[in-house]
Structure 1
Amino acid sequence: MTTAGCSSVTGGDDGDTTTDAVTTEVPETTDTVTSNETATSNETSHNDTATNETASDGHSHSHGNESTSEASNSSDIDAAYTGQMAVMVAGERVSLAEAYGSDSTLTMSDKDTWHTNETTTLATALSEAGVEANESTLSYAGKTYDASENGTKISYRVDSHEVDPEEYTLESDDKVWVLVVSNDSNVTTPGEYIPPENLHVHGTIEFTVDGDELDFSRDKYQQAGHNDHFHFEGGHADPWHAHSAHVTLGYAMSTLDGINMTDEAIVYNGVRYPYSGENGTVTVTVNGEPVAPNDYYLKNGDSVRIVIEPSD
């Protein structure tokens, strides 16, 4: 992806000064995020006064330990293997707690937390919950999703790694995400909110403009309650937090002060950098692979890299 033409970067990441030229309203959309590249106003007002992130969005924001009573209760269960799992199929979260019976290999102590005393593959665990899964297809509730079909995406993610469910054996402390999206899914962006005490999505980001990396630990990016679905917290730049399985990269970036991202361009501090070759070079990758920002749903363990190199 490339761009060409603007002689300088407006504003950079200097100080806590924000520009009036670009703030972004992030609407809820179906499957893609509709963004105004010239931008209007941010979802909430921004000031650069340091605030305590325990406000507004209802998070406890103890960055080192987000788990609450659910996790502590589950730790009392004696099992050889314990982890967490979320299965999202076409916008619906599969209720594993209801699906597993007394004779199932896995049991659930709460919405997220599984336990087992047996060695089992992810595919077997899913099958016992009524989800038939292999590397390229998944069947649930009478419908089969095929990753080879246009618009269908199937992801089996354990921590930060994609796995083949038929080959992967569950281990203790695994955080498992299964995500299926298709063109006819009832999916909206940013999706259903996941409370902080439940399993949600984390990852890392590098955003560089003209050789200078943005510092997402700064107050302007850490406003209390600036966005419930995507944010940084606790004064940390890593990890970012996504409280939904359906937060796109474009939505996430467009919640941040001075940034607006569409499938055609990034607007940063009032300057538009198209991917097509104006104003310089723009690179947008996740885990080293180029993505369409408003089609890509952030997944646990994702490493986002955005680089803008303005032309002189």
Structure 2
Amino acid sequence: MERQSRAVKRASMALIVGLLVATAGCAGLPGGDAGTPAPDSTGEGTVETADSNTTNTSDTTTESNESDGDSHSNENESDSNTSTAIDAEYTGEMAVMVGDERVDLAANIDGEDGINMADSDTWYTNESVTLSEALRSAGVEAEESTLTYDGETYDESTDGTNIIYRVGSHEVDPEEYTLESDDKIWVLVETDGSDVTPPGEYIPPENLHVHGTIDFTVDGEELDFSQDKYQQAGHNDHFHFEGGHASPWHAHSAHVTVGYAMSTLEGINVSDDAITYNGTAYAFDSEDGAATVKVNGESVDPNEYYLKNGDSVTIAIEPSD
């Protein structure tokens, strides 16, 4: 009887051990073995992270960026594109829009000129290269006043064609400007024939999008866009303020006009000839009340001008006495 009892105990212990071994492999689900790093996006191994002495990382998810004031406090941006440190001399983000098409740099770039893409937005290189050289590696031939992509050349001498190269909020000559780490680059080609209806194609929060500042005054009083009614919750995805901040604004498209942006906000509407604020229409440059719209100090048509990264918008309503 005693031998039988010992045998039962041994069988029970074996069963328990077997169960523990079987369930150990589930601890890392859904990725499998918890001790094995996940493969990178290429499926060719693990993503190498920089050590603690590396200063050039692209992890800017929770930090403000000096060039655009981008805090993203309420957008729930895990920002998978930039969460992994890149072990390279220079790294940053870049977006190219030709008309209504966002160029897939990751698909086009070949790395032969010393630059490559970690994902659709994040570039990295160990060499000193100009913006023009970087774009050429992605199949885009860029000069100060012309750009060639997919066999078509765009020239600023053509009426209605604008070519913009911006690093942060600054316009640059692509053949002269040398890339620096943490550069956020926007290349835009606007044409009359693009026929994009605002607000255009949505850019997700984790992708490089557009930010700037605004000063909106009515009879000398500045609107406070940090108020709850102007904040992101319950408002437009393509344009918003967030986190209780009046600066910066966020545009999740390259084709958000000033007029469209303002018309998403409570109590404001912009038509072809007037700005309506709290039910009163103020015509542009009229005797009944002058409404002016400027971007970077230059007067613009609010329903024609697309907001660009780094833009400083000034809207002023001065009612007549």
TM superposition score normalised by structure 1: 0.77
Letter of the structure 1 residue corresponding to residue 73 of structure 2? S
Contact 1:89 1:180 in 2 (8 A): yes
Structure 1: give runs of 5+ residues left out of the alignment: 1-59
Letter of the structure 2 residue corresponding to residue 72 of structure 1? S
Farther off after superposition, 164-173 or 63-72:
63-72
Give the helix-richer structure, 1 or 2: 2
CA RMSD of superposed structures (Å) = 1.7
Letter of the structure 2 residue corresponding to residue 213 of structure 1? E
Percentage identity across paired residues of the two chains: 71
Letter of the structure 1 residue corresponding to residue 299 of structure 2? P
Indicate the residue corresponding to 1:171 in structure 2.
180
Output the CA distance in 1 between the equivalents of 2:263 and 2:79: 30
Structure 1 moving runs of 4+ over 6 Å? none
What's the CA shift for 1:104? 3.4
Contact 2:73 2:242 in 1 (8 A): no
- Aligned residue for 2:128, secondary structure, equals coil
- Aligned residue for 2:261, secondary structure, equals helix
Indicate the residue corresponding to 2:235 in structure 1.
226
Contact 2:262 2:270 in 1 (8 A): yes
Indicate the residue corresponding to 1:137 in structure 2.
146
- Aligned residue for 1:72, secondary structure, equals coil
Do structure 1's residue 182 and structure 2's residue 191 form an aligned pair? yes
Do structure 1's residue 266 and structure 2's residue 275 form an aligned pair? yes
1:266-301, CA deviations, whole angstroms, 9 ceiling, x for partnerless residues? 111111111131322222111111111111110111
Contact 2:285 2:292 in 1 (8 A): no
Do structure 1's residue 105 and structure 2's residue 111 form an aligned pair? no
Output the CA distance in 2 between the equivalents of 1:167 and 1:103: 20
Q: Which has the larger radius of gyration?
A: 2
- If asked which structure has higher relative contact order (CA below 8 Å, sep 6+), I would say 1
Do structure 1's residue 156 and structure 2's residue 165 form an aligned pair? yes
Indicate the residue corresponding to 2:81 in structure 1.
70
Output the CA distance in 2 between the equivalents of 1:223 and 1:231: 5
Structure 2: give runs of 5+ residues left out of the alignment: 1-70
Output the CA distance in 2 between the equivalents of 1:307 and 1:84: 34
- Aligned residue for 2:81, secondary structure, equals helix
Letter of the structure 2 residue corresponding to residue 305 of structure 1? T
- Aligned residue for 2:82, secondary structure, equals helix
Contact 2:211 2:250 in 1 (8 A): yes
| Equivalenced residues, count | 251
1:140-187, CA deviations, whole angstroms, 9 ceiling, x for partnerless residues? 111111112221121111100111111111100000000111111152
1:229-274, CA deviations, whole angstroms, 9 ceiling, x for partnerless residues? 0000111100000001111111101111111113311111111111
Output the CA distance in 2 between the equivalents of 1:92 and 1:186: 12
Output the CA distance in 2 between the equivalents of 1:240 and 1:71: 21
